[in-house]
Chains A and B, each alone.
Chain A
């Protein structure tokens, strides 16, 4: 199928004196799987509705392949939407729901049958065509919504939290299915979600929004590994967020970092800084290792701290430790994977003294104030 590039240029949207979107610009490449990620109320649906034509931006423009589509009503744009609540027509059967777009175009009965059949097969629902939406499960409704949206052969498919109504298992499954459908039809997917795991697992590009403003645009690993600011660092996954100052630059790649909370350690210079800069770094909990004693042999370039386990949460495949490094300060969070839980020499528990360490390259500078 044909797909389009979507360009959002300086789009703002106000509801009265409330800013739902502030000067948003982004480019979504042809055939990509692009996610809009952000907490509830950050303006994701608003942006999607502007692309779909259901909302007029207060300022800015939207281009499909270089053509401004703002003057076009929704029914004239080559976009189809999967709504947050699916919006299946309750008075029509599954077949008629999927056929709806074709019936509007006065296409022959034979072609409609073939096309609907094809699309139902795509979402593996060909056996349910005579049912009504109320007789379908959540996952089935979602598939019908996909089939209905794809039958028009849109160049862009907008998906507004399509999986939010499903349970965790089914969500995983449907996500993989969506990804497979994306690969098969090859059109641009714009996927809205507030679930970071969903966004990271299937997208080519992720745009993180907060309070109507773009926080960061990047590949899933860029977003996760080198968050652009504190919001992104804290919103995507869990992290240890440490503020401090650069006291000395040791070489081209390393500097000494002094944290009033956790003491001195070495950080890797992933951004240019000067001595004396105030910076904040993040270290992901799974990057930190934990042991009852400091190992005798440690690789070079590691930071070692010692502390006391203040709390622990066992979640089966891993345990989350809260390690208090200094008094009156937030404990650091450390994940320990249980590759061989019962063979661990000495399980670490509450109140144990522990050593924690991480490679200097596993911390990332987030904010730099000179």
Chain B
């Protein structure tokens, strides 16, 4: 008889996930139901105070803002990434084009955001350009609003959508497009009716790979957003480091994780239903 080594193979990853994912999540969850300590930390008393203070309009506004930014950027990213991935998959210079997408990653994430500040800032490149052409006659502040956040998020996250889309389009059988055209469809119609449904797994992956990190993002709004366009991530950082209300920070984290999970599950369910 052969021994089943399966459990041994997955032991390291099981340990890793328990130690660094499940345990921290459980700690966060339990902290959110405790009383806040005087100088940070928690008191070991059960309390719903953190969740009560979540129902404050300021917090709800941040939640709404987070959802708007995440949904808008994910949508725009997928709309932009689809034709890009299609073009790369159909090109004879795939490797070069893929390389061009990867190259910006060689630069530190923060530096790339600062580059945007240098471009969009009130003394930035864009302003000097517009001033020199005479299109505007005083400096405009492009930064520190929701649009700047969406723009920079799209820039930093779009490769995570391009790659999964590229790999499914690459595998797509383009003779199906010819078959659809043979049956009377225009090229556009053929792409829409035949290619899109057949690269659905790529689209799902692209949405998940972008929506999840965007929803929990805090660096981008911290650097290019104003206090009025804060996202949940910023709130967590503030409660953790400045206000030192750990239960509140934990409860926001719980909300953030739950909203993400519910959204993802809902999305995956609606997509897999179509398959049957």
Contacts and interface: CB of A to CB of B under 8 A. Distances in A.
Interface in B189-209: 189, 193-194, 197-198, 200
B181 A89 contact: no
B179 A81 contact: yes
A43 B184 CA distance: 25
A85 B181 contact: no
B186 interface: yes
A90 interface: yes
Interface in A61-114: 73-75, 79-81, 83, 85, 87-91, 100-101, 104-105
B183 to A, nearest CB: 4
B198 A75 contact: no
Given A83-B175, A87-B173, A91-B198, A104 B182 contact: no
Contacts of B170: none
A101 B175 contact: no
Interface residues of A, number: 22
A148 B175 CA distance: 15
Interface string B141-185: 000000000000000000000000000000001011011111111
A88 B176 CA distance: 7
A87 B179 CA distance: 6
Contact of A105 (B181, B184, B186): B184
A97 to B, nearest CB: 9
Contacts of B181: 54, 73-75
Contacts of A81: 178-179, 182
B198 A152 contact: no
Given A91-B198, A104-B189, A54 B184 contact: no
B135 to A, nearest CB: 43
A264 B194 CA distance: 66
Nearest to A76: B184
Given A90-B198, A91-B197, A74 B182 contact: yes
- Of A54, A79, A87, A104, most B-chain CB atoms within 10 Å: A87
B180 A100 contact: yes
Given A90-B198, A91-B197, A104-B189, A75 B182 contact: yes
A57 interface: no
Nearest to B199: A91
Given A90-B198, A91-B198, A83 B179 contact: yes
Contact of B175 (A87, A100, A152): A87
A244 B212 CA distance: 81
Contacts of B175: 83, 85, 87
B178 A74 contact: yes
A104 B178 contact: no
A210 B16 CA distance: 63
A91 B189 CA distance: 15
A31 interface: no
Nearest to A151: B183
Interface string A35-57: 00000000000000000101000
Nearest to A84: B175
A100 B181 CA distance: 11
Nearest to B275: A91
A68 to B, nearest CB: 20
A54 B190 CA distance: 14
Nearest to B181: A74
A259 B50 CA distance: 106
Contact of B183 (A54, A91, A148): A148
Given A89-B194, A91-B198, A75 B179 contact: no
B168 to A, nearest CB: 13
B184 A89 contact: no
B186 A75 contact: yes
A104 B183 contact: yes
A105 B181 CA distance: 13
Contacts of A83: 175, 178-179
Contact of B182 (A80, A90, A91): A80
A88 B179 CA distance: 8
A74 B180 CA distance: 10
Nearest to B179: A87
Contacts of B184: 75, 101, 104-105, 152
Nearest to B175: A87
A22 B183 CA distance: 29
Contacts of B197: 91
Nearest to A77: B182
A301 B11 CA distance: 88
A89 B179 contact: yes
Contacts of B173: 85, 87
- Of B179, B183, B200, most A-chain CB atoms within 10 Å: B183
Interface of A: 52, 54, 73-75, 79-81, 83, 85, 87-91, 100-101, 104-105, 148-149, 152
Closest 5 CB pairs of A and B: A87-B179, A101-B183, A91-B197, A74-B181, A87-B175
27 contacts: A54-B181, A73-B181, A74-B178, A74-B182, A75-B185, A75-B186, A80-B183, A81-B179, A81-B182, A83-B178, A83-B179, A85-B175, A87-B178, A89-B179, A89-B198, A91-B197, A91-B200, A100-B183, A100-B193, A101-B183, A104-B183, A104-B184, A104-B185, A104-B189, A105-B184, A149-B183, A152-B184
Given A54-B182, A91-B198, 14 more contacts: A52-B182, A54-B178, A73-B181, A75-B181, A80-B183, A83-B179, A87-B175, A87-B176, A90-B198, A91-B200, A101-B184, A104-B183, A104-B184, A104-B189
